[in-house]
Amino acid sequence: MKRWFVLLGLLAALLAPEVRAATSPDEVLADPVLEQRARALSKQLRCLVCQNQSIDASNADLADDLRRLVRARLVAGDSDQQIIDFLTARYGDFILLKPPVEPATWGLWFGPAALLLVGAGGIAIHLRRRRRAEPEALSAAEQARLEALLGSEAADRS
């Protein structure tokens, strides 16, 4: 019985989404609205040290500094966009986990859909052509051979 509980616990741990934030208690803002904005912003910002983690989830030193910076600017009255502009001016668009849609990133945003459309279109055209193509009529020689074969078969059966 006990073994099953352990197994269940392990499974639950595996299935649970990673909700634990790296934010330490002393960072949390007293104003819950600002704190919520800080969390939301932190989740969009890439930790430049660990790269595939947001600064909200990362324990890296720099992520910690950036989280505090975001909160300090929120308290100072910055809008979300001002904070994002502040950080991209220093670290570039790379700090955004979701890259902005601009000509340089069109391939990234629309490439997969475009490839899918081209592929689907190609298959559709190919299938339609195949359906439409009528079988060629038999030539005179082929017709004669066919009749000869069918004739001999008919003769065999009788």
- Positions touching another protein (CB under 8 A) are 48-49, 51, 61-62, 65-66, 69, 88-92, 94, 115, 119, 122
Considering beta carbons, is residue 102 or 156 the nearer one to another protein?
A: 102
CB of 83 to another protein, least distance (A): 13
Considering beta carbons, is residue 20 or 129 the nearer one to another protein?
A: 129
CB of 50 to another protein, least distance (A): 10
CB of 92 to another protein, least distance (A): 4
At 96, give phi and psi (nearest 5°): -90, 125
Report how far apart, in Å, the C-alpha atoms of 34 and of each of 37, 65, 79, 131 are: 5, 17, 11, 62
Considering beta carbons, is residue 9 or 111 the nearer one to another protein?
A: 111
Considering beta carbons, is residue 34 or 62 the nearer one to another protein?
A: 62
CB of 143 to another protein, least distance (A): 25
CB of 157 to another protein, least distance (A): 41
Considering beta carbons, is residue 19 or 89 the nearer one to another protein?
A: 89
